[in-house]
Structure 1
Amino acid sequence: MPSSQLSDFVESFWMIKNTSDKDHETVGLPDGRLDIIFSYAPNESFNAMLMGLGTEPGPHAIPAKMVMFAVSFKLLAIEYLLAIKVASLLNAVLQLPDGFWGVTKDDLNDFESFCEKLSAKMTSLIKPDIDTRKQKLFDLIYSSNGSLMVKELSQRVFWSSRQINRYFNEHFGLSLKAYCTILRFKASLHYIKRGQLFPDLDFADQTHFIKEVKKFSGSVPKELFKNPNDRFILLSAMPKK
């Protein structure tokens, strides 16, 4: 878990290790996060990349014996920590320069040490004078899992809907409503994993829910629940509780 100093910017740290001798075929699902991933495999050199926001499902392969350590970011980090333009990175990847943040292949031997090193680096990068409207806006967006209407968010942070959407499109490449829809889809995965195929997340009806799930995953809720061969990696990573 990120420290209190990073809680507005960092969602989580995570790791994946494919210990088998075969590539693992997966489907990436939109989750409202940006990820910086450091990885290596026997047939691939050490690599650092930024994965932009996803708005659609996409196939991914985790090569045999690959090790991946990563940090996932909330959107406020784009402006106040990363200082990287991501509006053009929807469903895309940006290769990061060698030596990014001083991370090396050796740092991928110990996950706890990796988290400590990146936490110290990111804390040093936080910019001062954060706009309190933006801070409150994102607090509301994340705490509600994207279920609040744009009009209500606008009223509660005293910031016009037009200005908010301009900010979202310029900085992130999509509207606030589109982003909230992705967060609501992600929240629905927790219900689906438990076998609850119609979650209480303000969907108009079950048909609307199924349509939204299929839009972002390419599959209906029943197929997601079965998750054969851990095909949907985001779903596999979620706790059942």
Structure 2
Amino acid sequence: MATLPGIASCYQPQQPSVKAGAAVTYSELQPAMNLRSHIYCYWELRTRQVLTDSFYYRVVADGCIDIFFDISNEEAPYIMGLSSRYTSFETGNEFHYIGIRFLPVALPFICGLDAALVTDRCELLSDVLPGIAKELKPLLAGKKNIRTYKVVLDQYWSTLIENCPSTIDMRLMDALKKIIDTNGNVQLGKDLYCGLSDRQLRRLFHQYIGESPKLFSKIIRFQNLLRAKPSVASLKRHKLFFDAGYYDQAHFIKEFKLFYGDTPTIALDK
């Protein structure tokens, strides 16, 4: 069995809640216990009624890779790599998406994927992982909701992981955990020393995560603040951006807007 040291206990990637009343809903469901070191969640985004206008769904940077598909239109599965900034999708006025959010490292580890090939890209799964796409196609047909998909997806990924011969360089996992444990506030040359040169570490990060240790650390820092859900008032009053590792307010606002798409004042006031 392919063993991957879990980071699920110390990293819970956040996405914004959907603000569209009862017309559009977003929900997450945990996978089976044996998958939680690889898969963060299954997610569902759907309309409950036909919308008057096209809906735009925002995905913020979280360091993860997702596989997703629209069951209402019977579209083929897609894969979305790590995003170095926020992404906005126009989804139309009626849709029903089901997705699998893999924790950092997990999908490249399971499937031998070079994560850098899908960074900042959304591609047909058949163009990136044709074997996985072919195996998933019959499993995805005819299901109605996230719970029915969970049953078949739990079984599929459990079998795949059980039969996967992969191993991983534990020095990469040590560096990854240091970044997460420090909420992204690391000195890349000093704090991440783990027996690898800077060049070797960058190569492994690009291969398994899709970006550099520096960019991934920024995403973790942003995600930590997002997960804390500070109020706009407390953020201004206590200058929490200093505690989060930003060197001034302008730096904090610029980086937050890059990863979220709105300023902290707008995003955290929702």
TM-score bucket (shorter structure) = 0.7 to 0.9
After superposition, the Cα gap between the structure-2 partners of 1:146 and 1:100, relative to the gap in structure 1 and judged at 3 Å, is farther
d(CA) in 2 for partners of 1:45, 1:202: 44
d(CA) in 2 for partners of 1:8, 1:144: 20
What is the aligned counterpart of 1:187 among 202, 217, 224? 224
After superposition, the Cα gap between the structure-2 partners of 1:165 and 1:130, relative to the gap in structure 1 and judged at 3 Å, is closer
> What are the Cα deviations for residues 13-45 of structure 1, in whole angstroms up to 9, with x where unaligned?
21111223123223322111110012133xx33
**Structure 2 portions without partners, runs of 5+:** 1-29, 127-132
After superposition, the Cα gap between the structure-2 partners of 1:18 and 1:152, relative to the gap in structure 1 and judged at 3 Å, is farther
RMSD: 2.5
Query: What are the equivalent positions in structure 2 for 1:86-235 lying under 5 Å apart?
Result: 86-97=115-126, 99-101=134-136, 102-107=138-143, 109-126=144-161, 127-128=164-165, 129-155=167-193, 157-192=194-229, 194-195=231-232, 196-197=234-235, 198-199=240-241, 200-227=243-270
What is the aligned counterpart of 1:12 among 23, 41, 47? 41
2:231–2:269 Cα contact (<8 Å) kept: no
TM-score, with normalisation over the residues of structure 2?
Answer: 0.72
1:154–1:160 Cα contact (<8 Å) kept: no
> What are the Cα deviations for residues 131-174 of structure 1, in whole angstroms up to 9, with x where unaligned?
3223333333334432333235533x333332111222344442
Note the C-alpha offset of 1:73.
1.1
- Asked if 1:36 corresponds to 2:67, the answer is yes
Q: Which residue of 1 aligns with 2:100?
A: 71
2:140–2:149 Cα contact (<8 Å) kept: no
Aligned residue identity for 1:32: G
TM-score, with normalisation over the residues of structure 1?
Answer: 0.79
> What are the Cα deviations for residues 100-147 of structure 1, in whole angstroms up to 9, with x where unaligned?
42432323x132332232222222223343332233333333344323
